[in-house]
């Protein structure tokens, strides 16, 4: 019984660590309720900075959809794109937050812009783990 329980714990920890890049992607790039006026607040509350620092991130894109809709891009709702990436077959509403002023947290101030674009992401298995860019058209 102890061996079975230990194996279950090990498997659970392995699955959890495999999902970490996806959880980070969701935290950093998916927000159904995002608006152009909330960039400062959302970037601050989610602690979005340049990786491993307190430096303000120059740009961050929020996809205005739920996680399930974006995850579908890694399957039938997407197609292969440059360098092992995947592009959505349909455009998504997004909010792009671009740094206006400030170098370090908490003085980061952003300007938001709302657009509709195709999203280009990297998938691991069936899950998005990296937002590469947005594009105006599939062509």
Residue 72 and residue 136: Cα distance in Å, rounded?
Answer: 20
Active-site residue, selected from the candidate residues 22, 26, 28, 29: 29
Cβ atoms of residues 86 and 92 within 8 Å: no
Has 22 been annotated as catalytic?
Answer: no
Q: Among residues 51, 70, 52, 62, which one has the least CA distance to residue 110?
A: 62
Active-site residue, selected from the candidate residues 93, 130, 132, 133: 130
Has 130 been annotated as catalytic?
Answer: yes
Residue 82 and residue 63: Cα distance in Å, rounded?
Answer: 21
Q: What share of the chain is helix, strand, coil (3-state, %, to 5)?
A: 35, 40, 25
Residue 44 and residue 41: Cα distance in Å, rounded?
Answer: 5
Query: Which residues does the annotation mark as catalytic?
Result: 29, 130
């Amino acid at each position: 019984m102890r061996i079975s329980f230990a194996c279950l714990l090990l498997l659970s920890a392995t699955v959890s660590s495999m999902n970490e890049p996806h959880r980070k992607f969701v935290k950093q790039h998916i927000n159904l309720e995002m608006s152009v006026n909330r960039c400062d607040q959302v970037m601050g509350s989610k602690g979005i900075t340049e990786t491993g620092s307190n430096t303000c991130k120059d740009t961050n894109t929020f996809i205005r959809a739920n996680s399930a809709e974006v995850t579908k891009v890694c399957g039938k709702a997407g197609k292969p794109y440059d360098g092992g990436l995947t592009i959505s077959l349909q455009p998504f509403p997004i909010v792009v937050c671009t740094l206006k002023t400030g170098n370090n947290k908490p003085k980061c101030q952003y300007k938001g812009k709302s657009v509709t674009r195709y999203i280009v992401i990297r998938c691991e298995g069936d899950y998005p783990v990296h937002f590469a860019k947005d594009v105006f058209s599939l062509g």
